[in-house]
Amino acid sequence: MASSDDEAETLPVPPVSNYHFVDHKEEPISFSILPIKWDEGERLEGSQEPVFLHGTVDNGLQKVYKQVTAWRFNISGSKPEISVLSKENVWITLQKPRKSFEDTIRTILITVHCLHALKRNPDTSSKSLWDLLAKTFSLYEVRPSQNDLVDHMSLIGEAVKRDDILAKSQVLFHSCADNEKIMFICFVE
């Protein structure tokens, strides 16, 4: 059976390691600037500047360079999983970022790990949460804190609206006056 180039491009991409993202000027950029795709049927609106994923697959044997258009995360498993959507409409799972790129995506990684921890244990205390995040990100010079979550409040709010377990979290709660705002009572004790 003959195959076309289009079919070859839609084959699944193995998880990508040693990755980083750049804009059209080859400047490092976080994948979190891309729209998040919450549901498969959801259409992405508007045009955006192109974002490109650089990385490796197969234990570094093969390089990957793909334009990506959206991202998503899954916090239901034993570890949080982040994926990006290629221009060819294929989801690519991200594994370990390039060391020099970690600071660029630090806050979004901490945010996703925070949501994952609260999904797994919605009754956790703020102290336990921050201790877990400090352990997870122990190789970073600066300990994770509330400041890492500030830029991602709308993402957190939307995640809480879409997930009943997160909505029951002892650390996150809805402000009764305004359902669009999520207030954090996560303070390092």
Alpha-carbon gap, residue 26 to 52, rounded angstroms: 9
Query: For the segment 46-75, what is each residue's pLDDT rounded down to a tens digit?
Result: 557 899 999 999 888 899 999 999 999 999
Question: Lowest-confidence range among 21-25, 95-99, 139-143?
Answer: 139-143
Closest CA to 121 of 156, 80, 162, 168: 168
| Amino acid sitting at position 78 | S
- pLDDT given at position 173: 57
Closest CA to 115 of 48, 160, 62, 63: 160
Six-digit token string for 63? 């390089």
Question: Lowest-confidence range among 11-25, 32-46, 83-97?
Answer: 32-46
Six-digit token string for 109? 């990684």
Alpha-carbon gap, residue 186 to 166, rounded angstroms: 14
Instruction: Please give the sequence-ordered ranges of beta strands (E in DSSP) within the chain, or none if there are none.
Output: 17-23, 51-57, 62-74, 81-86, 91-94, 172-175, 178-184
β partners of residue 180: none
Alpha-carbon gap, residue 28 to 55, rounded angstroms: 13
Q: Which is more confident, 155 or 170? A: 155
Instruction: Please give the sequence-ordered ranges of beta strands (E in DSSP) within 33-170, or none if there are none.
Output: 51-57, 62-74, 81-86, 91-94
How many CB atoms within 10 Å of residue 6?
8
Contact 127, 174 (CB under 8 A): no
